[in-house]
Amino acid sequence: MVSIGSKTLVSRSSMGEHDYEPLKQGKTKRRKHKKGGSTHAFDSNSFTSPPQLSRVRKQLDPETTQYFSEISNLFESDGVELEDRSLICANALEETKGKEFEIATDYILSHTLETILQGCDVHHLCDFLHTSANHFPYIAMDRSGSHVAETSIKSLAVHLQDDDDVVRPLVEEALTMICKVIAANSVDVMCNCYGSHVLRTLLCLCRGVPLDKSGYYLSKSTTVLADRLNSKEFSSKKYDATNFQPGFPNLLKSLVSDMLKHAKKCIKILQVDQFSSLVFQTVLRVLAGDDEELLHVIPILLGCKDKNNAEDNFIGTRVVAELKNLLKESKFSHLMEVVLEVSPEALFNELFTKVFRNSLFELSSHQHGNFVVQALISYASNQDLMELIWEELGPNLEGLFKMGRSGVVASLVAASERLHINEHKCCQVLAEAVCPVDESPKWIVPRLLFLDSCFTSEDKSNWSWQSGSKMHVMGSLILQTVFRFRSECIQPYIISITSMEATHVLEAVVDARGSHVIEAFLCSGASGKQKRRLVTKLQGHFGEVALTSSGAFTIEKCFTASNLSLREAIVSEMLAVRSDLSKAKQGSYLLRKLDIDGYAAGYLVYYRISRLLLLIEKIFFNFLCTQTL
């Protein structure tokens, strides 16, 4: 039950039409809305940019606070039908006029405003954005207001999914206003921890990025590391915008252009700012595939004043030394990773020649610079460039391991496999880095699985299997990549993994990282006999492995690589733990995949026939004995 003043409101199921009137009419007398939308007339020149000063928040009157609290209580009670909810939202937005900033930045009322923005129609949503436009940068930079700003942007994206010719012009009109005021204050907004996220969301909407695909565009560069090492192609290079909404390309270019005009004045500060770096990363990702625009934007972000397209000279000599130093700075290194990810080929090659060449090992040794080198290697697209990279880093794999830069090695191995260059040499040098030629190759895989302990050991020749320790993430990824090479390149690795003791194989399989290595080997170009040699070492433990978090997938790979007798052994062990397996996360999948129930039924028939044959044989034997007597 909800009450406003002297009136009481409850669900329509128990009360009449008049019980909704206080909230349908609003807090005070309201002007009527024209059918179909807002009464606001848009003028692109009517706004004035907020002054570059902090905004003082006025105190909300108790009546407004009470009004929005009652709306919140009503919505939480689920006592409002859809059509009435929309009307209440519309009237509530009317009540925000002149108080948009105060309500949006109120810690409690902002939550109610978010709900209202999600529930209102597109006309009232756009009307709210028009009336709050001059306050929008301040709202976006507030702890509570940023959620309101982001909700309004995402709600526009939801409405754009409607196949309605009226919606798009309304949204574009509102977005134009918002983009203008944001661009005018873009330096303040992008450097603010809350405003930065709102601005990135706005960029995604202008590009037409669906809400369910926005994660990549808002993520940090390092979150795509696993994709770099495991994928043949990278989405940004191929630029697959399948299922994107049409977006507003002209508005996007205008917003970016205006942002850069303001950013040029203080680019050296913005390059190393945490939150502006994130905004620039999103700018680059939403422009991916538009080479012309990128060739204009990237040099500005790198601190270059102008570019000379006629000479394909994008990076001025003056900034090269500065860039080499910036690559060792945390925030800029993240930005440079995305620059390399989206750069057109001509600019990518120029960056390599002027900035990276002959500095790769030095950068690889740095705690931040090494991530940029990983990106450079991962996004290299031709063998000639990869050959130059290999010349600098190939002979230094052991040194990179000792410095803890296994990510650079992993990227180098992945690129060699992806571009089919120096494949045999890469596998050979990698093996020698962890296991000198005068030692048995059986240690190659174990030492990569426990990479850190191997290289912190004073004498690798005395190193032993690290029972109970977690296996190394990068070492696991390197081995997974190695087993994608042609079998003739990886014979020492095959010898090593098939020479592992049964207890060590079991430890590897039950470790999340080790299990991926075992699976990679079972899917490699090794012979069936070599694969079965490894699978045999798990006999008697198939049920135990199947019950681990990732064991179902490993058992499936074991089954595929096995001959008939080994498959029977696997299934019979699964049968013994069938009850527990059916309760496990991936257990049901494995039971269906291996048809354990079918095997059980078949085995029962086989057992009964065998017993019957034994009985017949016994009767026949007794009969022969009787005849002989």
What residues are paired with 2 via a beta bridge?
A: 9
**Can you give the pLDDT at residue 477?**
95
Place of tokens 């495991």: 230
Q: Can you tell me the distance from the alpha carbon of 359 to that of 339, in angstroms, rounded to the nearest whole number?
A: 18
**Cα 360 to the center of its chain, rounded Å:** 27
In a domain, 142, yes or no: yes
**Cα 312 to the center of its chain, rounded Å:** 34
Give yes or no for a contact between 90 and 121, defined as CB atoms under 8 angstroms apart.
Answer: yes
**Can you give the pLDDT at residue 306?**
57
Q: Can you tell me the distance from the alpha carbon of 287 to that of 46, in angstroms, rounded to the nearest whole number?
A: 30
The residues of the chain scoring below 50 in pLDDT are 1-20, 28-53, 222-223, 231-238, 309-310, 607
**Can you give the pLDDT at residue 468?**
87
Locate 347 and state its tokens: 């600019």
In a domain, 150, yes or no: yes
Place of tokens 């180098």: 412
Q: Can you tell me the distance from the alpha carbon of 447 to that of 517, in angstroms, rounded to the nearest whole number?
A: 13
- Give the DSSP H or E segment for 93: helix 82-96
- In a 3-state reduction of DSSP, which class is residue 176? helix
**Can you give the pLDDT at residue 294?**
96
In a domain, 140, yes or no: yes
What's the sign of the alpha-carbon dihedral 198, 199, 200, 202? positive
- Give the DSSP H or E segment for 158: helix 145-160
Q: Report residue 494: phi and psi, to 5°.
A: -65, -45
Place of tokens 């996220």: 197
**Can you give the pLDDT at residue 54?**
64
- Give the DSSP H or E segment for 9: strand 7-9
Give yes or no for a contact between 104 and 132, defined as CB atoms under 8 angstroms apart.
Answer: yes
pLDDT in tens, 66-75: 999 999 888 8
Residue 615's contacts (CB-CB under 8 Å, 6 or more residues apart) are none
∠ Cα 108 185 189 (to 5°): 50
Q: Compute the half-sphere exposure of residue 169: CA atoms within 13 Å on the CB side of its CA.
A: 6
Q: What is the total count of domains within the chain?
A: 1
In a domain, 618, yes or no: no
DSSP, res 526: S
What residues are paired with 308 via a beta bridge?
A: 313
CATH number of the domain that residue 203 is part of: 1.25.10.10
Q: Can you tell me the distance from the alpha carbon of 300 to that of 44, in angstroms, rounded to the nearest whole number?
A: 28
**Cα 416 to the center of its chain, rounded Å:** 25
Q: Can you tell me the distance from the alpha carbon of 162 to that of 10, in angstroms, rounded to the nearest whole number?
A: 32
Q: Can you tell me the distance from the alpha carbon of 55 to that of 139, in angstroms, rounded to the nearest whole number?
A: 10
DSSP, res 356: I
In a domain, 327, yes or no: no
**Can you give the pLDDT at residue 551?**
87
pTM of the predicted model as reported, rounded to 2 decimal places: 0.82
**Can you give the pLDDT at residue 4?**
38
Give yes or no for a contact between 309 and 295, defined as CB atoms under 8 angstroms apart.
Answer: yes
**Cα 341 to the center of its chain, rounded Å:** 15
Q: Can you tell me the distance from the alpha carbon of 600 to that of 31, in angstroms, rounded to the nearest whole number?
A: 75
In a domain, 158, yes or no: yes
In a domain, 266, yes or no: yes
Locate 67 and state its tokens: 């009004």
Residues in the chain: 629
In a domain, 611, yes or no: no
Q: Report residue 4: phi and psi, to 5°.
A: -125, 120
Amino acid letter for position 429: V
Amino acid letter for position 416: S
Q: If 0-12 CB within 10 Å is exposed, 13-18 middle and 19+ buried, where does residue 603 land? A: middle
Give yes or no for a contact between 295 and 344, defined as CB atoms under 8 angstroms apart.
Answer: yes
Question: What is the residue range of 208's domain?
Answer: 62-220+244-287
